[in-house]
Structure 1
Amino acid sequence: MVGMSPEYSQKRSGAYFTPDDVSATLVAWACRKPTDRMIDPSCGDGQFLALHRNSVGIEQNPISAHQAIERAPGALVHEGDFFTWATETGERFECAAGNPPFIRYQIFKGETRRRALDLCLDLGAKFSGLSSSWAPFLVATAGLLKRGGRMAFVVPAEIGHAPYAAPLLDYLLASFSTVQIIAVRRKLFPGLSEDCWLLYTEGFGGKADAIDLTIVDDFKPTRTPPKATIRVDLDEWRNVWNRRLRPHLLPASVRSLYGSALADPETKRLSEFANVGIGYISGDNDFFHLRPSDAKRLGIPSVFLQPSLRNGRAMPDKQITKATVDAWTKSDDQVLLLRLTRDQELPKAVRHYLDSSAGREARLGYKCRNRAPWYAVPDVQIPDFVMSYMSGRNVNLVRNAAGVSCTNSVHSVRVRDRALASKLLPRWSTPFVRLSCELEGHALGGGMLKLEPREAGRIVFPSAATIGKADDEELEEAIGSMQRWRHYAD
């Protein structure tokens, strides 16, 4: 991709080419006979098209489209936007295979996004504003199939947990007689942080009564889709697991224990007694966070300075105390937030700092220039606890005994029901709650566990009856399994 324009860069276009054995396997699953007409909605350099002569490919990148024409001379390759083409074409296909582009919502936007979501809505799938590109690609592709048609695709492992993937799965279940997910633990793309699974559907025009989930450690080429490890009950998937497949990677006994805890009225979720949110967004961390030595040199009064936790790396294990803040100060860390408010009279030293070259540069930043006054950082809170946003072995919950504030690199936890918090939060490090963190959060690249505020609020504190049934050794093994799936414990 040397010389490629920024519009078609690999990261921006979501184009990561598929290992040969994976593409050959997916084409074998999708194509039953040579006369089957196959479509690849994002054909790249023609890797899938070259494996089945009776094929049509669409590719927006002109360089890749030209490569596809050369690589698969028997195929028909259209250069352009797939969603425009899908809206206009009258052609229909027996099967589809490929590796749709994985473009996150921040880049998947504008007219292309509007066309994609409008087409999906017409087909019966309503996606949120946070949907990545691959999910609409699959819905639009399914809409081009003949009755009885099949699809075989590489998909991000986010299909197992992302809220935006649920409308896709609902659509597939309502449109195909078989919906199968092949969860592959070891990476299909070793060079990518993104984990990928495989999707196979057949019987377009039918309706599935379960999700067939196949769980494997390693990908192995096969001529036909592998047998399902389990058939996921749709009521359980929807009502117990909030339309997430990832919990089904665990043994049935662990899922049953967790499900029984959720059904117990004595079980509580974190959101029932505390609010979880992100910390403040300064708009320019280097400008708004001063070292103690710089604050002293500039003569900024302490009344305008608020000790703050800037990131999870600075979090101690148990609690943030005065000794913690003293250690930050002794190390001359950048931990003093310049906390100014609207209509506040500012001393000369503060005004001088705001008008410095660093201040003139900071006020041009997006967040600063869109608030008034630009220097008043909003939503500065003093949480009761801070929680790690991205975690390795364990999610860290730390008592804020020193009254510091925190940036959005960690979560702010503010307790509403102190009696309930005093009863339940000491159980934070127990196996059940740690497993709940794994199940309610989701894997991020590099083996990290990410908990959005909404996910953190779902963390479960089981009833005493559930704790009495729990086998801590089994729960620890389940935690280890989840960490291996996110490649932290590999």
Structure 2
Amino acid sequence: MVGTTPEYSQKRSGAYFTPDDVCAALVAWACRKPSDRMIDPSCGDGRFLALHRNSVGIEQNPISAHTAIKRAPGALIHEGDFFTWATETHERFECAAGNPPFIRYQHFKGETRRRALDLCLDLGASFSGLTSSWAPFIVATAGLLKRGGRMAFVVPAEIGHAPYAAPLLDYLVQSFAKVQIVAVRDKLFPALSEDCWLLYADGFGGTASAIDMTVVDSFVPTRTPPKPTLRVDLEDWRGVWNRRLRPYLLPASARALYAATLGRPDTHRLADFASVGIGYISGDNQFFHLRPSEAKKLRIPVGFLLPSIRNGRAMPDAQVTKATVADWARNDDPVLLLRLARDIELPKSVRDYLDSAPGREARLGYKCRNRAPWYVVPDVQIPDYVMSYMSGRGANLVRNMAGVSCTNSVHAIRVRDKALAAKLMPGWSSPFVRLSCELEGHALGGGMLKLEPREAGRIAFPAVATRPKAETEALEDAVTVMQRWRHYAD
């Protein structure tokens, strides 16, 4: 993509142009005859439009729009905001194809987001404010189709797990006779960490009885959508699998084994007996976390210092003990949180540190300047367990035997039912629980597994961790499958 202004940077605008073979396949899936009128709601440089002359494209980036006009001279290009155009136009289309921009909710905001969400609500899809841009693009495009229309899009693999993907999929199955997801393990965009799948929907105005899925390792261009490898029962998708498609990447036998265990009354979710939250946000980690040598040099009293886990890399394998903290001290790691309380007399050494150059700089930060007093870090707690937020091979859970605290880079686990926790927590390393982490979490890119607090709370613990050898092997294989899909085991 050409363009140097921040507004139209690739990252901000979500514009990463699609490989030619993917473009050709999606246009072939959507367009059945030359007279079909096709729309690309975010046409970029026009590479979809160039494959079908009877096309309309909308593009907000003026430089990309100019490139599209030259690349696809037979197409009609509108420069501007798609949601404004979609609200105002009376034109309708036989088909649609494209690669809608993937703009995360932090940048998909303001008037553009309001128009997008209002339009989708009018069409019957209700999205939250945490929705990324591509999902409303698809709904708004579907609203421009003629009865019986079709569409084929590149979509982020987030369609398989993101909460905002659920209302999108619900809308699609209620609006099309056929909805198909093509899950591609290999990256469609090798230079991006984001995984992408393909979406095909046909028969606008109808209703789908299931979601068809095609699970493949590699994308192979075809003139028609590939045959489904399985059909997703909508009741199971909504109930057993919490409106996620990621579990359908597993073999049916592994899925059935996992679902049967979930259905047992003695299987519990982590949230049944513990609360999962994030640790504290200091506002300036470098200022508020001291090395033992620094604390000694500054003469900070021990009573104002609390050992803390700053990130997942600092977590040991099983438990944090006093020996762990002693190792941190020997390594002179910056793990001592400056923990100050309101309305107490501070020693001169602490006041001097707060008034030092680093202190004067720290208090100007957003978090610090919006709390009073600025130097009191809120929400400091002593969790019973600490869980990694982002992980490689698998999520790590450690018992907090040393009374340390933790930052928001990891999860703080507070046990409510100690008896149930004592019974179930030893099964953490079992293949079933590790598979549950894979299914409830999601790929972040670079092979990382990310578990949001709500996702972590859904991790399932069976009452009996030991299983027959065949079942154990099947679950282990399933863990490997999910790791390969997030590119950890490649």
Alignment of 1:66-145 (within 5 A): 66-145=66-145
- Aligned residue in 2 for 1:268: 268
After TM superposition, the structure 1 = structure 2 runs for residues 254-403 of structure 1, keeping only pairs within 5 Å, are 254-403=254-403
Residue 33 of structure 1 pairs with residue 33 of structure 2: yes
Partner of 2:146: 146
- Give secondary structure in 2 for the equivalent of 1:53: coil
Mapped to 2, the partners of 1:408 and 1:22 lie a distance apart of: 39
How far does residue 331 in structure 1 lie from its aligned partner after superposition? 1.1
Q: Distance in 2 between matches of 1:194 and 1:67?
A: 25
AA in 2 matched with 1:139: V
Structure 1 residues 391-400 or 152-161, which shifts more?
391-400
Q: Quote the Cα distance in structure 2 between the aligned partners of 1:90 and 1:466.
A: 62
Offset from partner CA, 1:34-72 (integer Å, 9 cap, x none) = 000000000000010000000000000000000000100
Deviations 1:259-298 (A, max 9, x none): 1122211111111111111111101000100111111111
Residue 254 of structure 1 and its aligned partner are, at CA, apart by: 1.3
C-alpha offsets along residues 361-402 of structure 1, whole Å, 9 cap, x if unaligned? 111111111111111101101111111111111211111111
User: Distance in 2 between the 1:460 and 1:47 partners?
Assistant: 45
Deviations 1:287-313 (A, max 9, x none): 100111111111111111101111111
Query: CA shift at 1:470, angstroms?
Result: 6.6
Q: Does 1:414 align with 2:414?
A: yes
Query: Would you identify which runs of 4 or more consecutive aligned residues in structure 1 move more than 2 Å?
Result: 463-470
| TM-aligned CA deviation for residue 330 of structure 1 | 1.1
1:21 aligns with 2:21: yes
2:181/2:198 contact within 8 Å kept: yes
Amino acid at match of 1:382: I
- Displacement of 1:2 in angstroms is 5.3
Measured after TM superposition, the shift of residue 144 of structure 1 is 0.3
Residue deviations 1:451-484 (CA, integer Å, cap 9, x gap): 1111111111123399469711111110000000
Identity of aligned residues (%): 81
Equivalent position of 2:53 in the other structure: 53
1:241 matches 2:241: yes
- Cα deviations by residue, 1:179-205 (Å, 9 ceiling, x for unpaired): 000000111011000000000000000
What SS is found at the alignment partner of 1:213?
A: strand
* Aligned length, in residue pairs: 490
- Partner of 1:471, secondary structure, is helix
Q: Is the 8 A contact 2:423 2:463 kept in 1?
A: no
Q: What is the letter of the counterpart of residue 301 of structure 1? A: P
**How many angstroms apart in 1 are the aligned matches of 2:68 and 2:321?**
62
Q: Give the TM-score of the pair, scaled to structure 1.
A: 0.98
SS of the residue 1:408 aligns to: coil
The whole-number CA distance in structure 1 between the counterparts of 2:243 and 2:157 is 14
Structure 1 stretches lacking a partner, 5+ long = none
Task: Classify the secondary structure of the residue corresponding to 1:464.
Answer: coil
- Amino acid paired to 1:346: L
> CA contact under 8 A between 2:3 and 2:63: conserved in structure 1?
no
1:484 is matched with which residue?
A: 484
CA contact (8 A) 2:424 2:462 kept: no
What is the rounded CA distance, in whole Å, between the counterparts of 1:89 and 1:426 in structure 2? 60
Q: Distance in 2 between matches of 1:257 and 1:85?
A: 49
Distance (Å, rounded) in 2 between the aligned partners of 1:465 and 1:133: 42
Residue identity opposite 2:294 in structure 1: D
The one-letter code matched in structure 1 to 2:118 is: D
Aligned twin of 2:178: 178
**In structure 2, how many angstroms separate the alpha carbons of the residues matched to 1:398 and 1:112?**
44
Distance (Å, rounded) in 1 between the aligned partners of 2:109 and 2:346: 42
| CA deviation profile, 1:317-355 (whole Å, cap 9, x unmatched) | 111111111111111111110001121221111111111
1:425 aligns with 2:401: no
Say if 1:95 and 1:449 are closer, same or farther in 2 by CA, change over 3 A. same
Give the letter aligned to residue 27 of structure 2.
V
Query: Secondary structure, in 3 states, of the residue corresponding to 1:169?
Result: helix
Q: Which residue of 1 is the match for residue 252 of structure 2?
A: 252
Structure 1 counterpart SS, 2:105: coil
Task: Report the alpha carbon displacement of residue 150 of structure 1 after superposing the two structures with TM.
Answer: 0.3
Does 2:444 correspond to 1:444?
Answer: yes
Question: Do the aligned partners of residues 465 and 8 (structure 1) sit closer, same or farther apart at CA in structure 2, a change above 3 Å counting?
Answer: closer
How many Å separate the matches in 1 of 2:115 and 2:469? 52
Aligned 8 A contact 2:427 2:465 in 1: no
Which letter does structure 1 place at the counterpart of 2:413? V
The code of the aligned residue for 1:335 comes to: V
The answer for the alignment partner of 1:223 in structure 2 is 223
Alignment of structure 1 residues 162-177 onto 2, 5 Å: 162-177=162-177
3-state SS, counterpart of residue 106 of structure 1: coil
Give unpaired runs (5+ residues) of structure 2: none
Q: Which moved more, 1:299-308 or 1:465-474?
A: 465-474
TM, length-normalised to structure 2: 0.98
Greater Cα shift, 82-91 or 291-300: 291-300
CA distance in 1, matches of 2:125, 2:24: 29
Q: Give the distance between the partners of 1:139 and 1:364, measured in 2 at CA.
A: 43
SS in 2 for 1:428: helix
> Does the 8 Å CA contact 1:257/1:466 hold for their aligned counterparts?
no
Tell me if the contact between 1:257 and 1:470 (Cα under 8 Å) persists in the aligned partners: no
The one-letter code of the counterpart of 2:260 is S
1:96-154 CA-partner distances (Å, limit 9, x unpaired): 00000000001111110111001001100000111100000000000000000000000
1:193 aligns with 2:193: yes
